[in-house]
Amino acid sequence: LILFMAGLDYRLVVPVLIVGLISASALIIFEPYRLERIFSFLDPWKQEFGKGYQLTQSLMAIGRGGLFGLGLGASVSKHYYLPEAHTDFILAVTAEELGLIGVIAIVSAYAWITWRAFKIGREARLNEQHFSSLVAQGIGTLFGLQSMINIAVNMGIAPTKGLTLPLMSYGGSGTISGLVLLSILLRIDWENRRLAKGYKV
């Protein structure tokens, strides 16, 4: 995506994408368990104690939360019912504890970070800071896509990917890398403000 933002001719990438899609399709078709894993999210209740177990537990946790949730720390699912409740499925636990209102707040926060990153990238481009512009937009893309995929997996809209929710899922390296990316974004914003006032950076 960053290469496209930088102006890469899409005709150079299309052949590679086609070969990649064909290879991935072949790997999935020739190994039935991969196909089952990918499509188990379409009807997880068929195998609620098998391949669909994690997703059914996630959906039950989200449903149990209702509009306002059970209260902070009152989740039942995180007590060994929902596997990876502290990493991949942290949003399901959050939905159970804080309800739909809490989920809307979290989704809004990620949307705001993504929008702000792209805005900072546009400002950097106007200041002719092209590298900073691409970095900012890349950070926005990463936060936006990763959070969107994780939320979709938690709600059963996409197959399980193993992607964490940035800044929320348990894990030292993920948290540190997320904070480093945000600090770089803040630095680019600071440089934009300095350049707007006529200072050099």
**pLDDT 10s digits, 16-72:** 889 999 998 888 778 777 777 777 777 888 877 877 888 888 889 999 999 999 998
pTM given for the model: 0.85
Whether 24 maps to a domain, the answer reads: no
**How many other β-carbons are positioned within 10 Å of the β-carbon of residue 158?**
16
Whether 115 maps to a domain, the answer reads: yes
CB 69 within 8 A of CB 95: yes
What per-residue confidence (pLDDT) applies to 82?
83
- Taking the alpha carbons at both ends of the chain, their separation in whole angstroms is 27
The Cα 190–Cα 169 span in angstroms is 28
What per-residue confidence (pLDDT) applies to 42?
79
What per-residue confidence (pLDDT) applies to 105?
97
Residues of the chain with pLDDT below 50 are none
Closest CA to 118 of 104, 107, 134, 105: 134
Residue 177 to residues 10, 25, 132, 173, Cα–Cα distance (Å): 30, 32, 18, 6
What per-residue confidence (pLDDT) applies to 40?
77
Residue 179 to residues 87, 139, 145, 190, Cα–Cα distance (Å): 17, 11, 17, 16
Number of domains in the chain: 1
Range of the domain at 157: 31-196
Whether 166 maps to a domain, the answer reads: yes
What per-residue confidence (pLDDT) applies to 81?
84
Which H or E run includes 142? Answer: helix 130-154
Whether 48 maps to a domain, the answer reads: yes
CB 160 within 8 A of CB 54: yes
What per-residue confidence (pLDDT) applies to 10?
78
